[in-house]
Amino acid sequence: MGHHCCSKQKVKRGLWSPEEDEKLVKYITTHGHGCWSSVPKHAGLQRCGKSCRLRWINYLRPDLKRGTFSAQEERTIIDVHRILGNRWAQIAKHLPGRTDNEVKNFWNSCIKKKLIAQGLDPKTHNLIPSYTKNNACNLAQTCTPFTINSHMRVGETMRNVSAQMNPPFITLPPPLSHPSLHEPIEIPTTFQYEDPRITDPNSTLLWSIKDQNPHATMDLSHTSSLENPPISSSFNPSGFGFLDENCLWASCVEPLETQKLDLVEQQQKHPQQDQQQQPKMYEMDFNESNDEKRLDMENAYNRPNFDLEFMDSTLMTSGIYCNISSMEQLAWDC
DNA sequence: AAGCTAGTCAACCGCCACTCC
DNA sequence: CGGAGTGGCGGTTGACTAGCT
C-alpha cells in the first residue's frame, strides 16, 4: 500500500537508475519541485511523487555532503540525540549536508553499537544497569534520572525548585568518558556560577545537576530559574565555563558530592548544631510517581520557547559541546 | 571458489499533521 | 466540520557488499 499519490498510477519501485536521476535533477533544477505529486509526471518518471521527493532530498540534492561522518559530526549527533531522542530530522539540521536518513542509518549501524559497547543505553544515554553492576567504577546508583535541584534563597526563605528530567530531555555525559569514542573528554564535576548582581556572598543559590554518576555533579551557584533562563552565553575558550555580560562561570575543584559528604560528617559530629548552621540542602527529586511535574517538563520541551539556552549551558558546561552555534540552532526546531 | 554472515544504506511503509475545498 | 490531498517524519526492509570460513 503506497501513498495516496502512488495508488493512482503505476509506479516503479526500487533503486533509481542514473537516467531517472538525470531526469529528476534536470526537472527540479529548472522548474523546482513545486508540488511533488506532479513532479514525476512533468519529469517523465514512472515514480510516485513521494519517491521523487525522497530521492531528491536524500541523494540528489546538490548541497549534500556524503562520505563518512567526522568525529565532530558524531559528537554532535550523540549530543543532540541525548536531548531530542530519535528526531532524526531535527538532528540532521545540526549537520549541514546530512540528511535525516543518513543520520538515522549512521546511528543504527555505528553509534548505537558503540554506546552499547560502552554500557550505555542508546535510548537514554544512561548506564545500562547490568553494565553498571559489573563495572569497576562501582557506581552506587544505576541509571538515576537526570535531576536538577535548585536551592534558592528568596529573602529569608528557601525556595526549592527541582525537576527531574527523564531522557530524552537532558542527561549529562557518562562519568568516565564521552561516548563519541574518538577522544575522551574530561568532564568537570562541579561548576560555580557567580552572579555579579548578587553582592551578598551568603545569598548563594545552588543548582545541582546529577546524572547517573553521583560524582558527576553540576553545581550552579545562583543561576537563573527555569522561568528566567540564563542570558545567552558564549563559549569561554580559556577552559570550562562561560562568559557573558551577566554571568560568570568558573569551574570549581570541589565536587558537590564531596561537600555533601562533609555535611554528613559534620552532621554526625554536631547533629543539632548542624541543623541550624549548615546551609539547608532541600532535596525534592521527582520520582516516577510525580508524573505531573514530568509532564510539565515535557510540555515545556514541546513549547516553542523551550529553554534551549539552559540546555545549551548545561551541555556546554559538561564539556561535551564544541560547537556552540549548533546548540544555539536548537532554538529553531522546537 | 563458494557459501555464509554482518554491516551499510537506499528506499519503502505507515502514520501524523497540515492545508484546502 | 469532515474528507481528500500532500508533505514530512521515524521505523523498517531488503538489496548490495565486504569479510570471513
Indicate the range of A17-21, A84-88, A126-130, A251-255 predicted with least confidence. A251-255
The C-alpha angle with vertex A92 and arms to A218 and A316, in degrees rounded to 5, equals: 20
What's the Å distance between residue A37 CA and nucleotide B11 C1'? 17
Say which residue the cell 551541555 belongs to. Answer: A315
Gap from A208 CA to B5 C1', Å? 48
Cα-trace Rg, chain A: 24
The CA–C1' separation of A141 and B13, in angstroms, is 41
Measured CA to C1', the nucleotide nearest A2 is: B13
Work out the pLDDT band at A121, boundaries 50, 70, 90: confident
Question: Measured in whole angstroms, how far is the alpha carbon of residue A160 from the centre of its chain?
Answer: 24
Mean pLDDT value of segment A261-280? 39
* DSSP strands (E only) in chain A: 146-154, 157-165, 191-194, 206-210, 217-219, 234-235, 242-243, 248-251
Only one residue has cell 548552621, namely A277
Spell out residues with C-beta < 7 A from strand C: A 3-5, 14-15, 33-38, 49-50, 53, 86-90, 100-101, 104-105, 108
C-alpha cell at A169: 530531555
Would you state the pLDDT for residue A93? 92
* Nearest-CA residue relative to C1' of B10: A15
Mean pLDDT of all residues belonging to chain A: 56
Q: Which residues make beta-bridge pairs with A150?
A: A161, A207
HSE, side-chain direction, 13 A CA sphere, residue A73: 19
pLDDT tens-digit map of A294-313:
444 444 444 433 434 344 43
DSSP per-residue codes, A168-207: TS--PPPSS--TT-SS-----S-EEEE-TT---GGG--EE
Query: Which pLDDT belongs to residue A123?
Result: 83
C-beta atoms surrounding A189 within 10 Å: 20
pLDDT band of residue A55 (cuts 50, 70, 90) is very high
CA of A86 to C1' of C21 (A): 37
**Cα first-last separation, chain A:** 32
Nucleotides of B strand lying within 7 Å of any protein CB atom: 7-15
- Provide mean pLDDT across the span A177-202: 36
Instruction: Examine the pLDDT at A241 and tell me if it is beyond 60.
Output: no
Per-residue pLDDT at A22:
92
Contact (CB, 8 A) for A46 and A11: yes
What confidence tier does A34 reach under pLDDT thresholds 50, 70, 90?
confident
Q: Encode pLDDT of A59-70 as tens digits.
A: 998 888 888 899
Cα A249 to Cα A37, A241, A305: the distances in Å are 53, 5, 24
Q: Which nucleotide has its C1' atom closest to residue A58's CA?
A: B10
Span CA (A109) to C1' (B6), Å? 11
User: CA–C1' span, A217 to B6, in Å?
Assistant: 40
Report CA(A12)–C1'(B4) in Å, whole number: 32
Using one digit for the tens of pLDDT, what is the confidence trace for A141-170? 333 333 333 333 333 333 333 333 333 333
The more confident residue out of A129 and A131 is A129
The percent of chain A in helix, strand and coil, each rounded to the nearest 5, is 40, 10, 45
Interatomic CA distance for residues A85 and A72, integer angstroms: 18
- Report the alpha-carbon distance of residue A227 to residue A126 in Å, rounded: 27
Distances, alpha carbon A118 to alpha carbons A110, A214, A257, in Å: 13, 18, 24
Phi, psi of A324, rounded to the nearest 5 degrees = -70, -30
Which nucleotide shows the minimum CA-to-C1' distance to residue A33?
C7
Which parts of the protein come within 7 Å of strand B, by CB position? A 1-3, 6, 12-16, 47, 50-51, 54-55, 58-59, 68, 101-102, 104-106, 108-110, 113
- Residue A177's pLDDT is 37
- Report whether pLDDT(A116) > 90: no
Q: What is the pLDDT of residues A68-94, one digit of tens each?
A: 899 899 999 999 998 899 999 999 999
